[in-house]
Amino acid sequence: MPATTIDGKKISKDIQTEIKQQVADFVAAGHAPPKLVAVLVGQDPASQVYVRNKERACKRAGIDSALIQMDATTTTQQLLELVDQLNHDATVSGILVQLPLPSGIDSQRVLDAISALKDVDAFHPENVGLLSQGRPRFLPCTPFGIVHILKRSGITTAGKSICIIGRSDIVGKPMALMLAQKDSPLGADMANATVTLCHSRTKNLAEICASADIVIAAIGKPEFVTADMLKPGAVVIDVGINRTDQGLVGDVDFEAAAEVASQITPVPGGVGPLTVTILLENTLKAAQLNQ
């Protein structure tokens, strides 16, 4: 029986409506609206689209936003000075430095310089440390978006075996940490999984994948996960965004996988919309923390 396709756009819209109300309540309580400042260095077209989407989503939720566009020749020092200024600006709730930065810039130094209380992407070592200790402050946008998708699709993770493919600091690694914890902000049934974190050096990846109740693919290789790598009835979450001649394609062979899985996210329209939504959630949280 073909899988149910999970509608990430609808889930995202529902959560954004809830955030809009929470922002309105925050403002009604006498606070200034939360404000997100995005810093974009250079002219990368994909980054420009992402930043514009984030600005539009902020506006819909009643969150103020500002874009600081910097020249591609900006130095690490200039960027550090800007971040310092934003850290000390009481009107700024959250700071987002759009990645990737031009190759001449020390990205790690810049990200580490963002105040941990304004770190809405949750990349700061302090926030990563808090997550690993099971007492998160901000949760990284894409992995936390996936937990929301699962919850709103009626899928729990406690006691399930979950195969995550990809160990990036942005998706795979924090995803593994979140799902293996004893608890989650969305409830203990959205944590407590038995997680296997697979990567480019994993042996028997297909076998591990085929034994999992939930497969989360964050690899960046078009249609890497094939139907024969899935247990019948598995839930499949496709994080991949690959630009091909056929348009945007995920890391999962969607058509074939949908014949085996019980529920599956499409690309586009699956995980992607949630990433922006959690950024809004984190910006509101930052505004509350920075009171």
Q: What is the rounded CA–CA span in Å between residue 60 and residue 279? A: 13
Regarding 174 and contact with ligand NAD (CB under 6 A), the answer is no
Per CB under 6 A, does 199 bind ligand NAD? yes
Catalytic member of 121, 213, 251, 253? 121
Among the listed residues 37, 91, 21, 90, the one whose alpha carbon sits nearest the alpha carbon of residue 281:
21
Q: What does the DSSP 8-state code read for residue 43?
A: -
The pair of structure tokens assigned to 161 is 């075996």
Q: Is 172 in the site for ligand NAD (CB under 6 A)?
A: yes
Q: Of 50, 62, 49, 60, which Cα lies nearest the Cα of 23?
A: 62
Whole-angstrom distance, CA of residue 279 vs CA of residue 141: 6
* Total site size for ligand NAD, rule CB under 6 A: 24
Residue 121 bears catalytic tag = yes
Q: Which one of the spans 108-116, 146-154, 178-186, 215-223 is the region binding ligand NAD (CB under 6 A)?
A: 215-223
* Contacts with ligand NAD, 118-157, as mask; x by CB under 6 A: ------------------------x---------------
Residue spans of alpha helices (H) in 29-75: 45-61
Q: Does 219 bind ligand NAD (CB under 6 A)?
A: yes
3-state secondary structure of 249: strand
Nearer to ligand NAD, 200 or 211 (CB): 200
Q: Looking at 235, 240, 283, 285, which residue binds ligand NAD (CB under 6 A)?
A: 240
Smallest Cα–Cα separation from 54: which of 290, 244, 283? 283
Site residues, ligand NAD (CB under 6 A): 142, 165-168, 170-172, 198-200, 202, 205, 218-221, 239-242, 271-272, 275
